[in-house]
Structure 1
Amino acid sequence: MSTVTITTAGGKTTVRSPYDPNWPSSARALGGRWSGGVWVFDSRDEERVRELAREVYGTDGTPDAGGTVTVRISVEDVRGERGGRPATLFRHGRQIATRFGRDEKPRLGDGVVLISGGFQSSAGSHNYLELGPLDDTVVEVRDVPRSVAVDHELQIVGEEGRPDHEALRAERERLAARITEIDAILGD
């Protein structure tokens, strides 16, 4: 799960967050500077900083009243920067997958599971790495704030802390069929 923590004290607002390529230039535009592992802003810009965090990460660190969900997304190709920098796909404040070398297998981000498809065994060139997903590559991303899933119209496939009614119905049907089977055996 992407963790964003925003605190304000002593006239400064600090942001601790995972890397996202959309954050640094936008943070600098708000007067932010990287210092000691956190981004530091003037506290008078706290609401703007929180708005930017919600835009980039989907959260400003405030617990989402709707909880978190698991969503499915299609993986699209991305190209790394010149000089062999990794090809990384970021979506909704999350690192989805990264390829560090042309002939290396991509690594999925935390809380990301491959559902279908896959990745080419080699993608891009030495200078321009590519992620290389196959056409039907779909992943599940866990622990996404419900508000992000709703705002971006993502396919929700599971809700943490809530029972999966479809799975429970299927299990009930399977168990009922097994009980009928056992009753038939015992009746003989």
Structure 2
Amino acid sequence: MPDVQVIRADGELEVRVPGNALFDVEAASLGAQTFDDTDSWFFHIVDETRVRALCRRFYGTDGSDEARVMVRLQLHHHARYWQQARAAGVLLVSRDKPDEGVRFAPDVSLVAGEFPRTAGTQIAPQLGNQSPVLLEVRNVPAGMAQKMVAEDEAVVVTAVDRLAVLRSELTAIEARRRAIRSEVRSIEELEAWEKHKPAGSQAD
């Protein structure tokens, strides 16, 4: 999971946060600078209190909390129209092109539900889920997790639930494998029938 870090160095604050266009606007309004070869923002040290408050407002943490938790977050079916999904300002899943699969951010995995192989258009790719999907987000700073709970209907998962989550994932994978085998058999049977059907017969 991307970290939020506020680092003091040489009279400046170097702030490393997950990419967020709205954060960038407010950082610039405080006089911060960033450079093409870095993902960091640089603030004057006297603005530390305001900078930490800005980080907590967008991400729920300023990087000072050490505790890490696991979170489960449900994306409802209306998310199918989105190109990406975020929680607490952090990118979780996205689709860059309509004919490519979705991409999960580090420490994010699918627990239940599914995304289609293709969705949207070249101009506007979409996640495309026709029903709710459940995501697991690991290694989340505690403050960020609380922001997810408050804003995104997330649930903080205790470590002992990890086995149940893995079993749920395994069940979903096995169900998908059975569905694929069934589809493969149907296609093979149809191809065999087409190959050996009596001459002059036509499909309905």
Give the alignment's TM-score, normalised by structure 2.
0.67
Cα RMSD for the two superposed structures? 2.5
3-state DSSP of counterpart to 1:2: coil
CA distance in 2, matches of 1:136, 1:112: 16
Aligned to 1:45: 47
Tell me which amino acid in the other structure corresponds to 1:48. Answer: R
Aligned to 1:2: 2
CA distance in 1, matches of 2:123, 2:92: 22
Give the C-alpha shift of residue 104 in structure 1.
0.7
Tell me which amino acid in the other structure corresponds to 1:51. Answer: A
**Is 145-154 or 24-33 further displaced after alignment?**
145-154
Aligned to 2:13: 13
Distance of aligned partners of 1:134 and 1:7 in 2 relative to their CA distance in 1, 3 Å threshold: same
**Paired residue total:** 156
Give the C-alpha shift of residue 115 in structure 1.
0.9
CA distance in 2, matches of 1:2, 1:165: 22
Tell me which amino acid in the other structure corresponds to 1:91. Answer: A
3-state DSSP of counterpart to 1:51: helix
Q: Is 1:117–1:134's contact at 8 Å kept on the other side of the alignment?
A: no
Deviation per residue, 1:138-170 (Å, 9 max, x gap): 1011112223333434312223xxxx28969xx
Larger Rg: 2
Distance of aligned partners of 1:157 and 1:165 in 2 relative to their CA distance in 1, 3 Å threshold: closer
Identify the match of residue 128 of structure 1 among 107, 124, 136: 124
Identify the match of residue 86 of structure 2 among 90, 95, 101: 90
Deviation per residue, 1:71-94 (Å, 9 max, x gap): 1111252767xxxxxx32221243
Aligned to 1:57: 59
3-state DSSP of counterpart to 1:22: helix
Comparing both structures, which one devotes a greater share of its residues to helix?
2
Q: Is 2:4–2:61's contact at 8 Å kept on the other side of the alignment?
A: yes
Deviation per residue, 1:24-76 (Å, 9 max, x gap): 11211222121241211121111111111122222212133xx2211111125
Tell me which amino acid in the other structure corresponds to 2:101. Answer: K
CA distance in 1, matches of 2:80, 2:30: 27
Tell me which amino acid in the other structure corresponds to 2:51. Answer: V
CA distance in 1, matches of 2:70, 2:114: 19
Aligned to 1:115: 111
Distance of aligned partners of 1:123 and 1:40 in 2 relative to their CA distance in 1, 3 Å threshold: same
Q: Flag structure 1 segments of 5+ consecutive residues without an equivalent.
A: 81-86, 169-188
CA distance in 2, matches of 1:158, 1:24: 33
Percent identity between the aligned chains?
30
Q: Is 1:94–1:109's contact at 8 Å kept on the other side of the alignment?
A: no
Moved over 6 A (4+): 165-168
Distance of aligned partners of 1:140 and 1:128 in 2 relative to their CA distance in 1, 3 Å threshold: same
Aligned to 1:103: 99
Aligned to 1:22: 22
Distance of aligned partners of 1:11 and 1:78 in 2 relative to their CA distance in 1, 3 Å threshold: farther
